[in-house]
Amino acid sequence: MSKISSILIANRGEIALRVIRACKDLGIKSISVYSDEDNRSIHVKRADESYRLGPAQASESYLCIDKIIEIAKLSGADAIHPGYGFLSENELFSEECKKNDIIFIGPTAKAMELAGDKMKCKEIMKKAEVPTVPGSDGVVEDMELAVDIAKEAGYPVMLKSAYGGGGRGIRLVTNEKELRQEFELASNESKAAFGKSALFIEKYLTNIRHIEYQLLRDSSGNGRHLFERECSIQRRHQKLIEMSPSPVVNKEIREKVGEIAVRASTALDYLNAGTAEFLSDSKGNFYFIEINARLQVEHPVTELVTGKDLVKLQIQVAQGEEIPFKQKDLELKGCAIECRINSEDPFYDFTPSVGYIPNCNIPSGPGVRVDTYLYPGCNVSGYYDSLIAKLITYGGDFNEARVRMKNALSEFTIEGINTTIPIHKTIIEESNFINGNISTDYIEKYNIIEKMKQKRNHEYEDKAYAAISAILLQSEYVKKSNLSPQRLNRIQKSKSGGFY
């Protein structure tokens, strides 16, 4: 067992801060790296040491394996935490760390390679009797073969990149004509995004939920699941809201699918924290889709309902310790909800919105956690991921967590850019969400964008009335009237100002 006394964090933003906090809790020296774009970032200030990586482009900074390894050696880092995104699921990076005697806080290169290759992974899952989505048995290179497989699986089908991630490289086709059109486009998109064009075909499941399991496995082969997260609220197949527990998972399902998830991690000889993702249909069937070989964005939800610090556990497992609890010792208590605050305009198809933040107000209070890199006067860059903050609330039950989220969202202000806060405010009060009636097409199915626009129009109207009444109250007639101060006050407070 090799005790870790310093960790280089090969990432930026809120996740770099999250890892720095875990290091401080454990008395470990934290070392950050940054691009020129980030030289004023908070992760640079908070870490014990910070080193420049290079220019703003990720390809010249956060994705440069050589530079990161060089800095790790120069600074004497015992270990590297990759966060999520960037190099977190890059098996070459994990391998390079090993070659240089640096502990990689994550899975082995081998497990990462298997998890990253969705087709190989599916094959292993089938052998381990983990249920998977019906579709092609391997990569489909030939268009005619694709047509035959789709016919057999039945339309609609999804074309997926075998190396995809984050919702990219996925296309839905509803008939043969579309399949022929989209096959080449999807191949090219996959090649551009992931360097390889391999596609596979999956039956498109309708009215489904995305439910995933947090996993942890140590080098002695102990595997645990830390229960499920419900991640069905998505836009463009990317998660917007996550929560734990799922409204449709009872104790029996939790244990049964949890056991399948652990079996999946054993089949890959997985190491450290990871996530097994499933799609669940209305009949309660669970289909495995993939293992994400990293710490997930939404890990705080699990931390709040289990009381476990996943980053600390990652570090303990990476230095060879056994997981310090048995499956039966774990308990899921209360409910946690996470809203992803992205620098995007939900009123304009989630287009990126970047720039200077003159001011912001970060919510706080009982049951409120905010993981963010924002501060008044910071800059939101267009070079990187659009996730700028994670707002997580905890309550004794779903409703307490939800009401806390509603209140925290109303406190959260970010000036200078557009964010996803308005869509969260709409969802958190929407009746289907409140009743747990959700699926991966929730946003389209319940016209959430339209509801968000209506909500904004009502808010504008309220503000317009208030402005008009404020002006009218200044008028000579009002001043000359004999209205008592109490009556004037009532008029001022009422929505219409009493003039309509």
| Identified binder of ligand ADP from the candidate list 16, 158, 374, 405, rule CB under 6 A | 158
> Could you please report the per-residue DSSP string of 44-68?
HHHSSEEEEEESSSGGGTTT-HHHH
C-beta separation of 10 from 297 below 8 A: no
Smallest distance, ligand ADP to C-beta of residue 468, A? 45
Smallest distance, ligand ADP to C-beta of residue 111, A? 17
- In the complex with ligand ADP, which residue's Cβ is closer, 210 or 340? 210
Q: Which stretch binds ligand ADP (CB under 6 A): 72-80, 104-112, 166-174, 300-308?
A: 166-174
- Cis amide leading into 156 (omega within 30): yes
Find residue 273's DSSP bridge partners.
Answer: 216
For ligand ADP, the binding residues in 423-482 under the rule CB under 6 A are: 440
In angstroms, the first-to-last Cα distance of the chain is: 76
Smallest distance, ligand ADP to C-beta of residue 399, A? 25
Backbone angles phi, psi at 60, to 5 degrees: -110, 5
Smallest distance, ligand ADP to C-beta of residue 441, A? 8
C-beta separation of 386 from 344 below 8 A: yes
For ligand ADP, the binding residues in 370-399 under the rule CB under 6 A are: none
Contacts (Cβ under 8 Å, ≥6 apart) of 220: 322
449-463: burial string, b at 16+ Cβ within 10 Å, e else? bebbeebeeeeeeee
| Identified binder of ligand ADP from the candidate list 76, 167, 284, 376, rule CB under 6 A | 167
| Identified binder of ligand ADP from the candidate list 96, 113, 277, 344, rule CB under 6 A | 277
Smallest distance, ligand ADP to C-beta of residue 212, A? 9
User: Angle between the 421-428 and 398-411 helix axes, to the nearest 10 degrees?
Assistant: 150
Size of interface with ligand ADP, in residues (CB under 6 A):
21
Residue 274 interacts with ligand ADP (CB under 6 A): yes or no: no
Residues 364/367/372/377 CA torsion (nearest 10 deg): 0
The first and second tokens of residue 417, run together, are: 């850019």
Q: Taking Cα atoms as reference points, which of 474, 464, 476 lies closest to residue 500?
A: 464
- In the complex with ligand ADP, which residue's Cβ is closer, 34 or 204? 204
Residue 154: helix, strand or coil by DSSP? coil
Smallest distance, ligand ADP to C-beta of residue 279, A? 6
| Identified binder of ligand ADP from the candidate list 30, 214, 234, 316, rule CB under 6 A | 234
d(CA 273, CA 293): 7
Residue 358 interacts with ligand ADP (CB under 6 A): yes or no: no
- In the complex with ligand ADP, which residue's Cβ is closer, 168 or 406? 168
| Identified binder of ligand ADP from the candidate list 204, 286, 412, 442, rule CB under 6 A | 204
- In the complex with ligand ADP, which residue's Cβ is closer, 91 or 290? 290
The first and second tokens of residue 455, run together, are: 């909500």
Catalytic residues: 294
Up-side HSE of residue 388: CA atoms within 13 Å toward CB?
31
Residue 166 interacts with ligand ADP (CB under 6 A): yes or no: yes
Residue 290 interacts with ligand ADP (CB under 6 A): yes or no: yes
- In the complex with ligand ADP, which residue's Cβ is closer, 218 or 242? 242
- In the complex with ligand ADP, which residue's Cβ is closer, 203 or 229? 203
- In the complex with ligand ADP, which residue's Cβ is closer, 132 or 222? 132
The first and second tokens of residue 331, run together, are: 């308990």
Smallest distance, ligand ADP to C-beta of residue 160, A? 6
H helix intervals, 47-134: 65-75, 91-99, 109-116, 118-127
C-beta separation of 231 from 332 below 8 A: no
The H or E element containing residue 427 is helix 421-428
| Identified binder of ligand ADP from the candidate list 153, 205, 216, 428, rule CB under 6 A | 205
Residue 133 interacts with ligand ADP (CB under 6 A): yes or no: yes
What's the count of helices (H) and strands (E) in the chain, helices before strands? Answer: 18, 22
Residue 113 interacts with ligand ADP (CB under 6 A): yes or no: no
Residue 232: helix, strand or coil by DSSP? strand
Residue 237 interacts with ligand ADP (CB under 6 A): yes or no: yes
- In the complex with ligand ADP, which residue's Cβ is closer, 68 or 201? 201
Smallest distance, ligand ADP to C-beta of residue 155, A? 12
Which residues here bind ligand ADP, judged by CB under 6 A?
133, 158, 164-168, 170, 202-205, 208, 210, 234, 237, 277, 279, 289-290, 440
